[in-house]
Structure 1
Amino acid sequence: MGSKWFGGMAVAVSAAVVVSTGSPVSARSRPADGGDTTAVLMARYAFNGRPVLDDSGRGHTLRIISGHGGVVRKVAHGQGSALLFPSRCLLRICPHVALQTPSTPDLNPGARDISFGADVYLSPTQTSKGQNVIQKGFSKTSSQWKLQIDGVAGRPSCVLVGDRLRRIRMATSTVTVADGRWHRVRCSRVGSVLAVFVDNLLRGRTTVPASLSVTNNRPMSIGGKGAFADNDQFNGALDNVWVQVG
């Protein structure tokens, strides 16, 4: 195992996870994961070069924030690489790490449609009460959109919380992704329907108000809410993280 420097932080290089889910998707030629062809790709991270760069060309560069020694490691995935986050930790003080953009209105859908997702690798021994894959905003203090992996069963769910009424709207998958294999997970809000897809199959849905709007001044965060103790740390590997609006 070696290391490379990204944004001033050493990121270890490992081949611990080597599974292919298909070739990477062009940042501009078509939807990131089977979504609406009229949508606009706002951010995409393939993690094949510097893991902080936005492959969509919109400049939403990530910064790595960490606490108590938390790091992300590059691991082989398909023809490129993915990022491996810290393993599940039951100690009083645990390593934490997340990747965050600056706050930007580009990533606020308002009441428009939005889709977002990632390729996810999680072992059945690494599940917890909740692990965040990608989010913008917080459910208690602002509006929010989020993809997370829930509970011991390791089922993905998609969350929307509106600007006005901070009620959590959630679509939860009927199938797990915590089985030691790569899965492509997508959240899609189209009008009044919020749905979760696993490997391009619809696995859960719920209704939301057509007027529900998500607009906040929070950063977009990948792999956890932040670097603090209660950050809902993701404990697997992520690749091809993307967001599109419209």
Structure 2
Amino acid sequence: MRKRRLWIVALAATLAAAPVGGTPARADGGLVAYWAMNEEPGSRYMYDSSGNGLHGNIGTEVVTGRSYGDGLGYGFGRLQPDTPPTHPQHLVGVADYAALDPDDRDYSVSLRIRTIYQFGNVVQKGQATAAGGSFKIQIPSGKVQCWFRGSAGQVLVTGPKPINDGNWHTVTCTRYGSGVALAIDGVMAASKAGPTGMISNAWPLSIGGKPSCDQVSVGCDYFAGDLDWVRIDAAGHDW
């Protein structure tokens, strides 16, 4: 257990200390995917810089090549919650690769985010009732939540303070064998014990909201704000 917690803290600290707007250094464990989000304006293809080839498609409503003064990133406009029509072009999608499933590994999703809004699903693979389980990072009331659901149960962890202050924050959500942990700006912010088991589904990875929704019976929970990069690591996984 101690070794796993040390990995979580070390990963979060490494990412928080990375050069602003640059590529985070690789931490202990295996880098599964790294989307630097530094494509030029108008790009519709998101490149995975990890070397693993897990590239994605960028919806036409996503603003690419947005300059933050220290690099480029993506911008997601605000959409009215639970109000039709749906906006599938608001999303960035990565096809269902087996490598993106947590399976039964220690598994971490990290990102650099800036927003003034208080809702939205930022990153997810699968939804609430998806066969095989699911995970997501969301920000209800501006507070980061890490949610993992698998064969052994589900665990939800909520950050203690809102981060929708218009400043950049680095967030790391980690699922390990006996719980889930959340780190914000390199500091452990919250954790909760509880097994989740195997998580492996046939859904794409979605950035910016739900891929399957109608804004009536199922809200799309579209994210509004800026993203600088998104990264996935799996402890002990050697590419």
| Structure 2: tracts of 5 or more residues without a match | 1-17
Distance in structure 1 (CA, Å) of the matches to 2:64 and 2:72: 10
What does the per-residue CA deviation read over 1:62-121, in whole Å, with 9 as the maximum and x for residues that have no partner?
11246xxx3334322353111010114255446451111111111112111001111111
Preserved contact between residue 73 and residue 85 of structure 1 (Cα < 8 Å): no
Task: Give, in angstroms, the shift of residue 158 of structure 1.
Answer: 0.5
Partner of 1:147: 137
Task: Report the CA distance shift for 1:78/1:190 in structure 2 as closer, same or farther (over 3 A).
Answer: farther
Task: Report the CA distance shift for 1:178/1:71 in structure 2 as closer, same or farther (over 3 A).
Answer: same
Distance in structure 2 (CA, Å) of the matches to 1:236 and 1:23: 16
Distance in structure 1 (CA, Å) of the matches to 2:144 and 2:193: 17
What does the per-residue CA deviation read over 1:158-202, in whole Å, with 9 as the maximum and x for residues that have no partner?
01000x35x431011001110011100110122212111110111
Partner of 2:4: none
Question: Which structure has greater strand proportion?
Answer: 1
Q: Does 1:170 align with 2:156?
A: yes
Partner of 1:24: 22
Preserved contact between residue 119 and residue 183 of structure 1 (Cα < 8 Å): yes
Preserved contact between residue 21 and residue 78 of structure 1 (Cα < 8 Å): no
Partner of 2:123: 134
Q: How many residues align?
A: 207
Distance in structure 2 (CA, Å) of the matches to 1:55 and 1:138: 26
Distance in structure 2 (CA, Å) of the matches to 1:208 and 1:92: 37
Task: Give, in angstroms, the shift of residue 45 of structure 1.
Answer: 0.9
Distance in structure 2 (CA, Å) of the matches to 1:199 and 1:40: 21
- 1:226-245 correspondence runs (5 A): 226=211, 228=213, 229=215, 230-245=219-234
| Structure 1: tracts of 5 or more residues without a match | 1-19, 32-36
Partner of 1:212: 197
Partner of 1:41: 31
Task: Report the CA distance shift for 1:94/1:21 in structure 2 as closer, same or farther (over 3 A).
Answer: farther
Preserved contact between residue 130 and residue 201 of structure 2 (Cα < 8 Å): no
Preserved contact between residue 98 and residue 227 of structure 1 (Cα < 8 Å): no
Distance in structure 2 (CA, Å) of the matches to 1:78 and 1:109: 34
Distance in structure 1 (CA, Å) of the matches to 2:66 and 2:206: 20
Q: Percent identity?
A: 28
Distance in structure 2 (CA, Å) of the matches to 1:93 and 1:218: 22
Instruction: Give the RMSD, CA atoms, in angstroms.
Output: 2.3
Task: Report the CA distance shift for 1:231/1:94 in structure 2 as closer, same or farther (over 3 A).
Answer: closer
What does the per-residue CA deviation read over 1:15-41, in whole Å, with 9 as the maximum and x for residues that have no partner?
xxxxx9725235xx522xxxxx0x211
Partner of 1:103: 96
Distance in structure 2 (CA, Å) of the matches to 1:200 and 1:206: 18
Distance in structure 1 (CA, Å) of the matches to 2:194 and 2:204: 23
TM-score computed with the length of structure 1 as normaliser: 0.76
Q: 2:65 aligns with which of 43, 61, 74?
A: 74
- What is the one-letter code of the residue matched to 1:216? N
Preserved contact between residue 118 and residue 143 of structure 2 (Cα < 8 Å): no
Question: Which structure has greater helix proportion?
Answer: 2
SS in structure 2 of the partner of residue 115 of structure 1: strand
Task: Report the CA distance shift for 1:112/1:227 in structure 2 as closer, same or farther (over 3 A).
Answer: closer
Partner of 1:156: 144
Task: Report the CA distance shift for 1:88/1:179 in structure 2 as closer, same or farther (over 3 A).
Answer: farther
Judge which range, 99-108 or 187-196, deviates more: 187-196
TM-score computed with the length of structure 2 as normaliser: 0.78
